[in-house]
Amino acid sequence: MSTESRATMRVGGEVTPRPGLPVRAILLTASCGCAMTVLDTNIVAIVLPAIAHDLGARFADVEWVISTYVLCFASLLLPAGAIADRYGRRRVFLGGIAVFAIASLWCGLSSTAAMLSVARALQGVGAACLLAPALAIIGHTFHDEGERAKAWAIWGGMMGLTMVLAPILGGAIAFLLGWRWAFFVNLPICLALASAVVWFIDESRDAAARALDPAGIVFFAAAMFGITWGLINGQAHGWSSAPALTGFGGGVASLGVFLAVEARQPRPMLDLSLFRVPRFIGAVIAMFSYAAASQVMASLLPLYLQNGLGRAPLEAGFAMLPFALAMLIMPQAGRWLGRFLTSPQLLVLGLVLVSLGDLMIGLAARGQHGPAVLVGMLVLGSGGGLMNGETQKGIMGSVARDRAGMASGISTTARFSGILMGFATLSAIVAVVGRSSLLAGACATAAALCDRSRIFAEAVIAGDVPLAISGLPPDVRQAALDLAHTGYAAGFSAAVITASGIALASAVLVAFLMRPTPSLNETAAAPAANR
């Protein structure tokens, strides 16, 4: 029976064929579930300034709109996978679609920034329950090595295409319909996706699925939340303020408890013994740094294009194309380069390109050179695209085959943890440096602007430039608008140059940790997949 005319069902660890369902339909359905999570993240990044203006949000509020979603997403990926394996992948997939749809409706109806952030947190829960079972469904449908490679290639192509289309779609929605439709558009998509799941995907589960780890789930989420809370409140209230210190202290303490709990678990959510292998550590660092210095720019670049260069949302969406297209095309180039370079060498090359791209963007943003920013985005996207598939391969090739499931979960968690920590850290730099530049420039520009310098600076950093210049005398408005753009650009430049340094330092670490070693013990523990 050909793969085009059958689907597999795994119940209790047994695989049985079910005639009549094409596996390509299963692949496309599961891939669409994964693409939903990327689509939502990148569309929302385009409409953030409109959200800030409509809801009167401060910069910290804007940060939480992104951070609560990624926080719940990253924290729940590992447990969502375990729940899906234990209780049924199709069931959890459908549950994730339902939660995502309800949360999207709530997001679109939100009347305050706080309400929107809570709804986004629920949306992150739904996204985790979309992605984890969808990946498992693909993995358990395709068993032949060649078929599986083709399946993941199609999956990667769909994810890349989503990244290309999402900014343009977000810009069109903001221009034609308003920001609320960035969330309402999910409702018909979720309905169609749920119908496809019911029609094409059979229930499957794993009788040997690991037990849930409630303590691990709680303390990992608490660690991520605490550190994020500290970063967001640090830029808003001061790094020595009570909210910032409480967040950092609670986050670090929770991380310590999490590591202690996992070390004593017979079947932990995170197997710490994997981190005894330097090659594995290097691959995880590469994934985290790729996400924190490259993938996070899918959220930060649209803000700069609108708040720093003054582009309209639709213009900003199209201006993201150099970054998005490079991310789509370069994985193919990476497969060709894999004939000549080892996996660690490709990871180092990708990180160096990411560092160079970030540096080019940061320097161009400081001088407000729009075309040079686009060239930097092309270089950045090339490095990110080169790493996009190679990071997963590097992690999976650094562990024994029987630990592949755990390694895959760590890989995905490292990616989204990197996005969360990268966004929170770099956004804090944007706010601190940008605010300082705006406050200094306000009084040097005009007395009328000096009198309301703090309100002006806070509105610009939040992305609400119309509010920042409203009420100013007509002869001051153009100078204030120019200052708003250059001040935001100063903060963004500092953040992206910091990301460049992170990527370069990570390249050095990865090159050291993943260097060829003659150690037989390590070779046995981590069979290499150099190519």
pLDDT for 523 equals 42
Average pLDDT of the residues of the chain: 82
Band of pLDDT at residue 209, cut at 50, 70 and 90: low
Residue 15: strand pairing partners:
10
In angstroms, rounded to a whole number, what is the distance separating the alpha carbons of residues 38 and 71?
15
CATH domain 1-213+265-269 topology: Growth Hormone; Chain: A; (1.20.1250)
At 211, the pLDDT band (50, 70, 90 cuts) reads: low
CA distance 54 to 104: 18
Query: Cβ distance 80 to 92 under 8 Å?
Result: yes
Chain centroid to Cα 88, Å, comes to 26
Nearest alpha carbon to residue 328 among 158, 110, 129: 158
C-alpha distances out from residue 522 to 460, 496, 512, Å: 52, 37, 15
328-339 pLDDT tens trace: 888 777 778 878
Phi-psi domain of 210 (left: phi exceeds 0; alpha: psi -120 through 50; beta: other): beta
pLDDT tens, position by position, 512-521 = 998 876 543 4
Cβ within 8 Å of residue 214, ≥6 positions away? none
Q: What is the topology classification, in CATH, of domain 273-421+491-516?
A: Growth Hormone; Chain: A; (1.20.1250)
Q: What is the per-residue burial (b if ≥16 Cβ within 10 Å, else e) of 190-220?
A: beebbebbeebbbebbbeebbeebebbbbbb
Sign of CA dihedral 145, 147, 149, 151: negative
Q: Is the pLDDT of residue 505 over 60?
A: yes
Is residue 157 packed enough to be buried (19+ CB in 10 Å), middle (13-18) or exposed (0-12)?
A: middle
- Do the domains 273-421+491-516 and 1-213+265-269 match in fold? yes
Whether pLDDT at 343 is above 70: yes
Q: At residue 524, does pLDDT exceed 70?
A: no
Grade residue 6 by pLDDT with cuts at 50, 70 and 90.
very low
Q: Rounded to whole angstroms, how far apart are CA atoms 32 and 162?
A: 9
Q: H/E/C letters for each residue in 337-403?
A: HCCCCCHHHHHHHHHHHHHHHHHHHHHHHHCCCHHHHHHHHHHHHHHHHHHHHHHHHHHHCCCCHHH
Cβ atoms of 522 and 278 closer than 8 Å: yes
The pLDDT of residue 30 is 86
Q: Nearest 5°: CA angle at 377, between 120 and 174?
A: 40
How far the first Cα of the chain sits from its last, in Å, is 32
What is the amino acid identity at position 23?
V
Q: What pLDDT score does 501 carry?
A: 95
Residue type, 157: G
Tens-place pLDDT, residues 170-204:
888 888 888 899 899 999 999 999 999 888 888 87
- Does residue 8 surpass a pLDDT of 90? no
Contact of 459 with 61, CB cutoff 8 Å: no
For 429, the token pair is 């730099």
Residue for token pair 């809370």: 229
pLDDT digits (tens, 9 = 90+) for 277-307: 888 888 889 989 999 999 889 889 998 999 8
- Tell me, what's the pLDDT at 404? 59
Grade residue 14 by pLDDT with cuts at 50, 70 and 90. very low
How confident is the model at residue 518, as a pLDDT? 53
Helices (H), 56-144: 59-87, 89-109, 113-141
Q: From the CA atom positions of the chain, what is the Rg in Å?
A: 23
Structure-block tokens of residue 324: 């998005």
The pLDDT, as a whole number, for residue 528 is: 43
The secondary structure of residue 271, as a DSSP letter, is -
Domain spans in the chain, listed from the N-terminal domain onward: 1-213+265-269, 273-421+491-516
The residue that leads in pLDDT, 407 or 293, is 293
- Looking at residue 402, its pLDDT comes to 54
Task: Report the b/e string of 22-44 with b at 16+ CB within 10 A.
Answer: ebeebbbbbbbbbbbbbbbbbbb
pLDDT band at 405 (very low <50, low <70, confident <90, very high): low
Query: Which pLDDT band, with edges at 50, 70 and 90, does 7 fall under?
Result: very low
Two tokens at 500?
Answer: 């460049």
